[in-house]
Structure 1
């Protein structure tokens, strides 16, 4: 006697096997190009090594390596399939070792769309799905623009796609157009429209040359290049300089000092002009058509940022994962009234994403208020008393004394062994060093402060570069109060608010010990009250 089958009632309908979709056809071009770009070094090395004996062999080796790289690049297009079920995103890939990646839709934290110049020329986009786990993102390279936009809506807004009449590309030699079944997905807004909370203003380009971080990177790269190839550059033949026995081209070194007094300023002016032009061009290429849009997502609102001229990028973050923000004011940018805005998020590959390029402080404050829900960046701050100033000034004097002493020793050694007395050098280091050290100490004291609003812990610190951080008190998971020997003598403490967002901690430096305990207790009473009498 047979037992009747018990009907199963799954939570969601199981999609048919023919619902799998493949990558865009242009992936067969994009993937080999990407592989060849990564293999350019072994191609050049192999061809150069083999070409030493026979140029034809070198050419054949280069062609062979390029063909192998191209074939390897075709594998993703041939083997990758994906589909979106009512509850999961599933991706199958691999040739010999088949791998299936599965991500629950309610665990999707971000969806990024990236298009390099090659992608844009072919009309495709790379999709990166972030789930907040350590294994990284799920990448689909590449999809057509329409398919990528549709996938982003499905993952973040729970909208059924494609419809019952939308064609689905089937794999195989006899591929035909079939109708995709309708999916039982929770209804949501099927629209790309949203609230634009920020848009690029071309007047912001004035801040591009003032970014010292990029200038330092450019100078460091240039110095590394000349350092690596200095021995290969024929200085004597190219610029006519010959150094021999303390003379340059047969003339004493001292005779060139007058020339340098004119040459160095001219070179600096030219370098500044070139840097300003280059940084403005880079600014335009990177931030072209920037928009920050708020959209309605699956479980709340999301922030979508899109920008780029030659390579476009669109990133989407759930606002529920935003735990705070930072406003950073650099030395030159601050003089021009600019600032940088970054978010403190959780569950993303990058938990410190930039929202805007360098923009006016008023814009940063307005956008920050919109995202945070209150004007935390303008909250009045509580100072830390006179003791931090004493500490900062003492450190400035010690630093100046050390720098001047080292310069004095070097000057004496050069004078004794090189018969060249640079008596003015220690004096210059003393005057210039003391000025900047004391200026930095005073700025550090004036910028130091904290505040506690209804929802946020606000901290400001820094000397020439000032960082104001607003962190949700609900995002604080613990506190660390540390005192060194010198801290105990001054009655100060170094307080750290531990969090899962951003860089996983927020420093509150040089706080009076009583204030530190009161601040932690007021911000997180449930966490701290049992440890405080």
Structure 2
């Protein structure tokens, strides 16, 4: 290979930003702070008491050297046909992904990255069910300006626009679909996390005791805590519960602010993309081509549903499979917000006059589906009573009283959940969409474009066959699961629905008879 050939092949390659080597300062700054405080307090440092800080410092040195090697050996470039990343010192890795396979572009900046003016660019392909790095490219890290340039280059895949003549009007500005309303923060505590975060100080106290060398007997501490709560007056127990709930509410509000502050959902008419920008400490920018959009998903966890709130997600090809928690997740279009606004946003995103997710159109499922849920509720209640009796026998308590108390609580709760789960069931075909809803603790309503359905899976358990029910699942190349289910529908109704949704796909399996 000649020198001229080597120069031609190197054209267009770019380096990562050298400031990426400083990102690992987060590993050394806390240990240095602890050592400095110790030196100021005692006048000297006993290194035997700071083994953790020494390990952190060594880890910082190792990671910094690794980052320097990664910066020196990593190159990337964007051509008209593909995106390429070359990395590695001993084990070299060259990844090339065609640009027509790119579906999403995410730009993220954590606290340290923001201080250094850096961003992480993650490009997702159409392998929705895969989470390994073969189906995504992550460029960590580039400058904020370079991240913006990469996003504009990659979505949509087109040649750079030429300057328009003076007599041609410019492209329209981005259309704002939704933005954060500070009043939405009232939905933050309507999450089971309020209990987890409220009890977090106890786990932090245990971790602190371990660091200080104070022995803690977890079993004894739990037994002592139970005995203490049983012995204290009722009003003091109520105060403790209120304190836990207040601490949890404050924690969820802070988590909401960090995840969704400065939230904006915009449509760029010129490029045909949807863009979500959000984040207070860690900023996130999610860009999705509208032509990859296959529907929308309305999420209503039970506490949020009581507050008449909901969250909205996109169903699109190329979304990564991520946890769908309070921080959002892959394809999140709206934070916890009023249910009415979620429907309005869904209609705007899908370019429909009215949201296809509205519950008024859903068809109820047969009563046999209710009986199935009541049967499961009875089985769950019986298991809870048996477990309570067994624990009471081991602990030496009254077996009868323990079983009775659990039964009084478990039976009504399980029956109410079973009835609510049945009332949540529903499906319909509305225009270009298959709409399905299910779930009690986490109600989920999905509007999936019928044109995006590529197959059907019909499942019938022995009990379903006896009840005349079936579970019909629509398979699609979009979303984070790839399958959207209509649960416990009448067998004949489910087959007719599938045949009407995608005519001809199930025709050879359906025999229509005269009424």
| TM-score over 0.5 (shorter chain) | yes
Partner of 1:386: 367
Partner of 1:148: 147
Instruction: Select which of 493, 510, 513 maps to 1:515.
Output: 493
Q: Counterparts in 2 of 1:148-167, with a 5 A limit?
A: 148-158=147-157
Question: How far does residue 147 in structure 1 lie from its aligned partner after superposition?
Answer: 1.8
Q: Counterparts in 2 of 1:362-511, with a 5 A limit?
A: 362-374=340-352, 375-378=355-358, 380-408=361-389, 410-411=391-392, 413=393, 418=396, 420-421=397-398, 424-502=401-479, 503-511=481-489
Instruction: Select which of 271, 288, 299 maps to 1:328.
Output: 299
Residues 157, 296 of structure 1: 8 Å contact kept = no
Structure 1 residue 127 and structure 2 residue 121: aligned?
A: yes
TM-score norm. by structure 2 comes to 0.79
How many Å separate the matches in 2 of 1:242 and 1:317? 50
1:358 partner SS: strand
How many Å separate the matches in 1 of 2:350 and 2:374? 36
Instruction: Select which of 267, 277, 285 maps to 1:294.
Output: 267
2:346 partner SS: helix
Structure 1 range deviating more: 276-285 or 475-484: 475-484
Higher normalized contact order (CA 8 Å, seq sep 6+, divided by chain length) = 2
Question: How far does residue 196 in structure 1 lie from its aligned partner after superposition?
Answer: 1.3
Please give the per-residue CA displacement for 1:188-242, whole angstroms capped at 9, x wherever unaligned.
Answer: x998941111111111100111111x34654787777788899975569xxxx99
How many Å separate the matches in 2 of 1:148 and 1:15? 25
Partner of 1:207: 187
Structure 1 range deviating more: 19-28 or 487-496: 19-28
Residues 197, 247 of structure 2: 8 Å contact kept = no
Question: How far does residue 33 in structure 1 lie from its aligned partner after superposition?
Answer: 4.0
Question: How far does residue 155 in structure 1 lie from its aligned partner after superposition?
Answer: 1.3
**Residues 219 and 481 of structure 1: is their aligned pair in 2 closer, same or farther, counting only changes over 3 Å?**
farther
Residues 196, 248 of structure 2: 8 Å contact kept = no
Q: Counterparts in 2 of 1:8-407, with a 5 A limit?
A: 17-30=10-23, 32-33=24-25, 66-133=60-127, 135-158=134-157, 193-212=173-192, 214-215=193-194, 218=197, 233-234=214-215, 257-296=230-269, 301-350=272-321, 352-374=330-352, 375-378=355-358, 380-407=361-388
How many Å separate the matches in 2 of 1:211 and 1:469? 21
Please give the per-residue CA displacement for 1:318-376, whole angstroms capped at 9, x wherever unaligned.
Answer: 12222222111122211111011112222232485221111110111011112223321
Residues 136, 349 of structure 1: 8 Å contact kept = no
How many Å separate the matches in 2 of 1:318 and 1:202? 28
**Residues 160 and 271 of structure 1: is their aligned pair in 2 closer, same or farther, counting only changes over 3 Å?**
same
Partner of 2:36: none
- The structure whose Rg is larger is 1
1:348 partner SS: coil
2:333 partner SS: coil
Question: How far does residue 70 in structure 1 lie from its aligned partner after superposition?
Answer: 1.7
Partner of 2:40: none
2:505 partner SS: helix
Partner of 2:326: none
Structure 1 range deviating more: 81-90 or 267-276: 81-90
TM-score norm. by structure 1 comes to 0.77
2:70 partner SS: helix
Residues 327, 340 of structure 1: 8 Å contact kept = yes
Residues 338, 358 of structure 1: 8 Å contact kept = yes
Aligned length: 467
How many Å separate the matches in 2 of 1:55 and 1:256? 37
How many Å separate the matches in 2 of 1:233 and 1:57? 17
Question: How far does residue 494 in structure 1 lie from its aligned partner after superposition?
Answer: 1.9
Residues 15, 85 of structure 1: 8 Å contact kept = no
Residues 159, 190 of structure 1: 8 Å contact kept = no
Gaps of 5+ in 2: 1-6, 32-44, 164-168, 323-329
Residues 376, 456 of structure 1: 8 Å contact kept = yes
Residues 195, 245 of structure 2: 8 Å contact kept = no
